[in-house]
Chain A
Amino acid sequence: MIAQEQKPIEEILGYLDGKQKVVVMGCGGCATFYHTGDKKAVKEMSERLRKEGKEVTEIILPLGVSACEIDMSSKYMEKKRRAIENADALLMMSCGDGVQVVAEYIEERIGATIAVVPANDALGLVGGGPRKFKETCQMCGQCELGKTAGICPLTACGKGLMNGPCGGVREDGKCEVDPEKDCAWVRIYERMEKLGELEDKFEVMREPHAWSRAKRPRLFEIEEPVKPVSAILGSLPSYLTLLGGPEYKEEE
């Protein structure tokens, strides 16, 4: 999920300077997970904006739906179409992707030109929980994990080296940049040692990473369009297993 935290309120108010009528929109995906765009966060933000003299004309809460899944989240927006058209700004409580997807929809599909401003800072694709999370993948487009014992050095190494460790490893195997973080290459070494891959994989040079696959902005198209309803239905058997139902079996 996309880790995120709310920006300082002064910064948010700065973006809303001179904008009186504001629509506040949350996100039912990662921003709900990280409490930066859930019902409570949106409510608290609206109260704060009112205290600052703003007119919060509408709240949009795409419950259970990520704002970036615009095919679904737009259904919530369409219900508040008039408020969006009449607003001076929409404060988007999601990651930067949600901000831009929603702004594009408002401009192109609703036909309104209003400022869509961010309330959050996105901090990366992370895993873990329930309290501590770690960034492990930067979605570079050319996965190197097969060469590095399943630990991504582009992300886990402070320098993103394909052939570490560097000379800056601390006494306790931590990174020169941040004593809180493990040296990724010491981890890779130890994991390869356990896997018996040291000679074959550690001492050989990995070619420089091919950054051409991360040429931004990346556009992506799939043959079969996203169908949220069938995706939900497709997941049902595993939910049932989780709830104590029959074990999911691959169909013959």
Chain B
Amino acid sequence: MGDEVYSQLMKELSEGKFVFTGELEPEKAGDVEEPIKAARELVGLVTACNVTDNPQSFAYVSSLAAAYKIQLETGMECIYQLRCADRNRSALLSDILGAGVLGLKNILALTGDHVALGDTPDAKPVYDLDSTTLIALIRRVVDEGKDLAGNEIHNPPKLHVGAAAAPGAAVLKAELAKVRRKIKVGAEFIQTQVVYYTEVVDRFFKELGKVDVPVLIGIFPAKTYAQADFFDKYVAGVDVPPDYLQNMKETKAIKDKEKRKEEVDRVNIEFFTGFLEHLKDTPAAGCHIMAVGYPRIIPELKKVME
């Protein structure tokens, strides 16, 4: 890993600041107006935003195109998510080089949900590389100016690469061995899957052991009960505490829209204040807030860490 810092994200992480990142989702559309609008609302609230690459294998606007436009039009630094599900190593390399050309500075290297789970289930799954070998490819491009086959790259891009981790993984020891493997090949930061239990965070850091890369814990303050319920029921490795679920469920009964919003915010602030207070006593370097379309909650969360 080189010591050079190319992005605001890595700058703040290397300075030891507690960093907040957000998330933006391109849609199935011919424009990126929605994520641009969302990015504008997050400017000043988070250091950088992930731009998702076909989450759950639903095909949306390319995260490369979206991240470029968002960064250009809003000034929000983007963490370009890049998954192996849809591209072979040649296409991945092209996109990595393209990201550099377009001024992107951070890539989150992902394996990606299986295409059979998405909205185009007959598509051929690629997975020529996986998250580990994608990280290795990016590092080889940036550090050595070479691709996986050893071909020289003229004027290689300056990019940082991050990896995902799943603290709530069903078979945690195997997941942690994989996370250490990704760090060994050069991941420079970690963003985790959503976690609701502080016990899960503690176990993750304890069993991961000492690592020299910053870890941002993923959180998801739900805007509605349905969102929280979805995470609990359908997202692998994520459990939502019953009390939080129940409190969110009770907000559904509030007829007045404004009052309901206030109550949802209150439930989230109460829950996440405790969660974030706890994070202060862990090695967490920041928080990755995946609450898409819920920017008003972020200043409240940041207050806890100030």
Residues of A within 8 A of B (CB): 158-173, 176-177, 183, 185-186, 189, 198, 202-205, 207-209, 211
Q: With the chains together, A183 CA to B175 CA distance in Å?
A: 12
> Which residues of B sit under 8 angstroms from A159, Cβ to Cβ?
85, 111, 114, 125, 127, 130
15 other A-B residue contacts (CB within 8 Å) besides A169-B175, A205-B132: A159-B125, A163-B130, A163-B131, A166-B131, A169-B171, A170-B236, A172-B170, A173-B170, A176-B236, A185-B174, A186-B171, A186-B174, A198-B177, A205-B184, A208-B133
Q: Name the residue of chain A whose CB is nearest to the CB of B173.
A: A189
CA distance A229 to B126 in the complex (A): 43
Listed A/B pairs (12) with beta-carbon separation below 8 Å: A161-B111, A165-B178, A167-B237, A168-B113, A169-B175, A173-B171, A176-B117, A185-B174, A185-B178, A189-B174, A189-B177, A202-B174
Contacting pair B171 A164 (CB below 8 A): no
Among B89, B148, B171, B185, contact of A183 (Cβ-Cβ < 8 Å) = B171
Q: How far is the CA of A205 from the CA of B177 in the complex (A)?
A: 11
Is B164 among interface residues, defined by CB-CB distance under 8 A?
yes
- B225-266 vs A, CB cutoff 8 Å, 1 = contact: the mask equals 000000000001100000000000000000000000000000
| A/B pair count, beta carbons within 8 Å | 97
User: Which residues of the partner chain B approach A209 to less than 8 Å between Cβ atoms?
Assistant: 128
- Cβ contact within 8 Å between A202 and B184: no
Whether the pair B171, A203 counts as a contact (CB closer than 8 A) is no
Q: Which residues of B contact A183 (CB under 8 A)?
A: 171
Contact A163-B181, Cβ < 8 Å, known A176-B113, A205-B133, A207-B133: yes
- The answer to whether B169 and A167 have CB atoms under 8 Å apart is yes
Q: B129 is contacted by which of A158, A164, A176, A208 (Cβ under 8 Å)?
A: A208
Q: Which residues of A contact B114 (CB under 8 A)?
A: 158-159, 168, 176-177
Q: Map CB proximity to A onto B120-158 as digits: 1 under 8 Å, 0 otherwise.
A: 000001011111110010000000000010000000000
Answer whether residue B223 sits at the interface, using C-beta atoms and an 8 A cutoff.
no
A167-B173 contact in complex given A203-B181, A205-B181, A208-B128, C-beta closer than 8 Å: no
Evaluate whether A162 and B180 lie within 8 angstroms (CB atoms) in the complex, with A177-B117, A186-B174, A211-B128 already known. Answer: no
Known: A159-B125, A203-B177, A203-B181. A165 touches B171 (CB 8 A): yes
In the bound complex, how far is the Cα of B172 from the Cα of A173, in angstroms? Answer: 10
Contacts A159-B125, A161-B111 hold; do A208 and B148 have CB atoms under 8 A apart?
A: yes
A161-B111, A173-B170 given; A167·B130 CB < 8 A: no
The answer to whether B236 touches A205 (Cβ under 8 A) is no
